[in-house]
Amino acid sequence: MSELATTTAIRLDGVGKTFVDARTGAPQTVLDGFSLTVDEGELVALVGASGTGKTTLLHIVAGLSTPDRGTVEIGRPRLGVVFQQPRLLDWLPVRQNVVLALEAAGLDPDAADTVLEAVGLTRYAGSYPSVLSGGQRQRVAVARAFAVEPDLVLLDEPFSALDELTARKLRLLLQELWMSRPRTGLLVTHNPLEAALLADRVLVLAGSPARVAAEHRIERERPRSAEDPYLFDLHTRIVAALA
Amino acid sequence: MGPAALFVVLAAAAWQLMAVLVDSVLVPGVGDVAGELVGIVVDGSFAQHLGITVLRVALGFALAFVVAVAAGIAMGRNEFVRRFGEPAVLLGLTIPGLVWALLCVIWFGVGLANPVIAVALSSAPALALTIYQGVRSVDPDLLEMAHVYRFSRTTRLRRLWLPALAPSLFAGARLGLSLGWKVIVLVEVFGMSSGVGYQLNNAFAEQNVAAVLAWTLLFAVVMAVLEYGVLQGLERRAGRWRKAVIV
């Protein structure tokens, strides 16, 4: 991976990835010649059904997986990642979970208090994650991701394990965090409305290996509302592209 | 009276009943055993020989722990190391402690190396296997999280690996120590001139069953103190987060 001189934050060029089925031994190509660029400050959503290589792409960008073919240019950004599951260290109190990420990033550990306040979890700072609800645990994960002042935020189906009411609240929280400081981001989701609400650009992935079936740029100020007719219409078009 | 105390009282009563019924010097009464017990405590021989035995076990266990933690983690993280180390661990598990005791007496004579290596050899395989299984059960999602947030090696070890492995480490320590205690007594019976095993052998040579029982009981008490007083205390401390209520 090499440094970029332009305002492009992420560039994937001709990326390919093939997995071998552990049971049958058969190769399965999920990405083949896939290209993608994400500009600085842009939040791009990858929407698609299961098995279209969305998470594989995100893992390649996060450095958790290496492509078999093609080039990846993302420099070495400081990452903030919200996974589908919160991935907290259950043996450490909430604040300490955030502090560890801050320390690893060379930042002031006291910043944990500010970010926990922003996600409404100040009173749980000293609690172990196991006393929190699923939504609260995911809030801690969001707090950790934004505490490190990331150059790049990766969101891997961040709210898919939550009930819809909690997911709505967290989408609003995410929009507020983005409004306070726009960042480069990649959102992987199978929820078209979530993509329309959060992203600046939506790529609809289909097939295996994945191809871009549709692309939508969203010119809407944040915070956005799910009741916005424009977003609802966009949601309908994404669903159509997925179908 | 708690269940544990009730067991002790009932066991003592049953033993006394058996001693009265058998009426032989080979089955001494509770009073005789208690007399021996008080004697070896008061004259200082228990503290002296127990101290020696505990030191030997501690050194042997420490050696086994270091080797087993390194081997267990390497086996859990690397397929080649696992396949390389697995036969050694399985072989080590099948070799009786008595064999290690005999071999170490022959190879290392009466020096400190003999009991230390015998304890290490007998406890390391079980410890390594437990730690290996613990490593395999560490959530790979947490390792990915540590990777993307660029946790240092020290942070990963202190904040992720050790807490995640704590249950395995305690289970392994318990198993390793119990094997170590058994082997050290054999080593001291066969090849040492000090320690609890040596004293047991002396009592056996004199056909002093009361002394054999007294040494055995005191040894068991020390193990119980270690288990309840030290290991369980540390385990509770390491696992206090588990007590939090899930809502």
Task: DSSP letter for A131, please.
Answer: G
Searching chain B, which residue's CA lies closest to the CA of residue A58?
B148
Q: How many Cβ contacts (< 8 angstroms) between chains A and B?
A: 62
Average pLDDT, chain A: 90
Domains in chain B: boundaries: 51-209
A180 min Cα distance to partner chain B (Å): 22
Summarize the confidence of residues B197-209 as an average pLDDT.
92
Q: Give residue B39's pLDDT band: very low, low, confident or very high (50, 70, 90).
A: very high
Summarize the confidence of residues A90-99 as an average pLDDT.
96
Query: Cβ distance B199 to B45 under 8 Å?
Result: yes
Checking if the pLDDT of A152 tops 90, the result is yes
Q: Which residues of A6-16 are buried (b: 16+ CB within 10 A; e: fewer)?
A: eebbbbbeebe
Pick from B30-34, B174-178, B207-211: least confident: B174-178
> ipTM exceeding 0.85?
yes
Instruction: List A residues 105-134 in contact with B (Cβ-Cβ < 8 A).
Output: 105, 127-128, 130-133
B230 vs B128, more confident: B128
Summarize the confidence of residues A67-82 as an average pLDDT.
91
Contact check, Cβ <8 Å, A79/B149: yes
Provide the pLDDT for residue B245.
Answer: 52
B143 min Cα distance to partner chain A (Å): 9
Say which CATH topology domain B51-209 has: MetI-like fold (1.10.3720)
Provide the pLDDT for residue B223.
Answer: 81
Cα B176 from Cα B66, distance rounded (Å): 12
Checking if the pLDDT of B244 tops 70, the result is no
- Interval A44-69: pLDDT, tens: 999 998 888 899 999 999 999 999 99
Q: Give residue B3's pLDDT band: very low, low, confident or very high (50, 70, 90).
A: confident
Searching chain A, which residue's CA lies closest to the CA of residue B238?
A91
Q: Using a CB–CB cutoff of 8 Å, tell me whether A196 touches chain B.
A: no
Checking if the pLDDT of B139 tops 60, the result is yes
Q: Give residue A75's pLDDT band: very low, low, confident or very high (50, 70, 90).
A: confident
Summarize the confidence of residues B29-38 as an average pLDDT.
92
Say which of B148, B159, B246 has its CB closest to residue A92: B159
Partners of A79 in the β-ladder: A152
Checking if the pLDDT of A2 tops 50, the result is no
Strand order in the sheet with A8-20: A27-39, A8-20, A69-73
| Proportion of chain B above pLDDT 70, given as a percent | 98
Checking if the pLDDT of B92 tops 70, the result is yes
Beta carbons within 10 angstroms of residue B204's beta carbon: 14
How far is Cα of residue A95 from the mean position of the Cα atoms in its chain?
22
